[in-house]
């Protein structure tokens, strides 16, 4: 592989990481907006769903960028291993971009976990209210049923024990 081709490929790798970094920044913004949708007294379901759809599209783009990056890196890595010092500046730039992307990914995962726990709490908060409302009605039905049944005296009595 020629030196100029390798430099172009390294530039493409760096550009791919920069695009990924920008997309991850948008995902961070969406996570913040998700938290705002969840913080109010009423859940903004329409806003939440729109943000989820946008996040889904961004995740698809991130997947494509990852696939392209991996394919290109697999093609370039043998030539880089032969002479890494020739491209040390570009490799350092790529490493710093990878670090930035990894850091943002970790922050997004933490934000997603917080959001998921908040959603779980909202779901759990709704469940006891339903059981609380339904429990008295179930007990009331049971008492009415038991009071309305005319329990008859047993027909078969064991007279042997009474003697």
Rounded Cα–Cα distance for residues 47 and 34 (Å): 8
Rounded Cα–Cα distance for residues 43 and 136 (Å): 28
- The three-state (H, E, C) secondary structure of 103-129, written as one string: HHHHHHHHHHHHHHHHHHHHHHHHHHH
Section 130-152 average pLDDT: 53
Residue carrying structure tokens 């379901």: 45
The confidence score (pLDDT) of residue 143 equals: 54
pLDDT of 59 over the 70 cut? yes
The confidence score (pLDDT) of residue 27 equals: 92
pLDDT in tens, 76-134: 999 888 888 888 999 999 999 999 999 999 999 998 888 888 878 877 776 554 444 44
The confidence score (pLDDT) of residue 162 equals: 52
3-143 belongs to CATH 1.10.20: no
The confidence score (pLDDT) of residue 103 equals: 95
CA 84, distance to chain mean position in Å, is 38
pLDDT in tens, 14-56: 999 999 999 999 999 998 888 887 776 566 778 888 888 899 9
pLDDT of 152 over the 50 cut? no
The confidence score (pLDDT) of residue 22 equals: 97
Inter-CA distances, 15 with 21, 40, 148, Å: 10, 39, 79
The confidence score (pLDDT) of residue 33 equals: 87
The confidence score (pLDDT) of residue 3 equals: 80
């Amino acid at each position: 592989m020629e030196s100029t081709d390798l430099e172009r490929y390294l530039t493409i790798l760096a550009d791919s990481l920069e695009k990924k970094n920008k997309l991850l920044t948008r995902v961070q913004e969406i996570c913040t907006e998700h938290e705002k949708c969840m913080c109010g007294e009423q859940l903004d379901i329409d806003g939440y769903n729109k943000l989820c759809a946008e996040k889904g599209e961004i995740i698809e783009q991130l997947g494509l960028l990852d696939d392209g990056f991996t394919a290109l890196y697999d093609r370039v890595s043998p030539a880089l291993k032969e002479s890494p010092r020739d491209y040390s500046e570009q490799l350092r730039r790529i490493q710093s971009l990878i670090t930035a992307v990894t850091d943002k990914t970790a922050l997004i995962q933490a934000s997603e976990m917080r959001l998921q726990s908040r959603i779980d709490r909202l779901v759990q908060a709704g469940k006891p209210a339903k059981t609380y409302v339904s429990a008295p009605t179930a007990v009331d039905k049971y008492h009415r049923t038991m009071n309305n049944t005319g329990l008859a005296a047993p027909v078969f009595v064991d007279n042997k024990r009474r003697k």
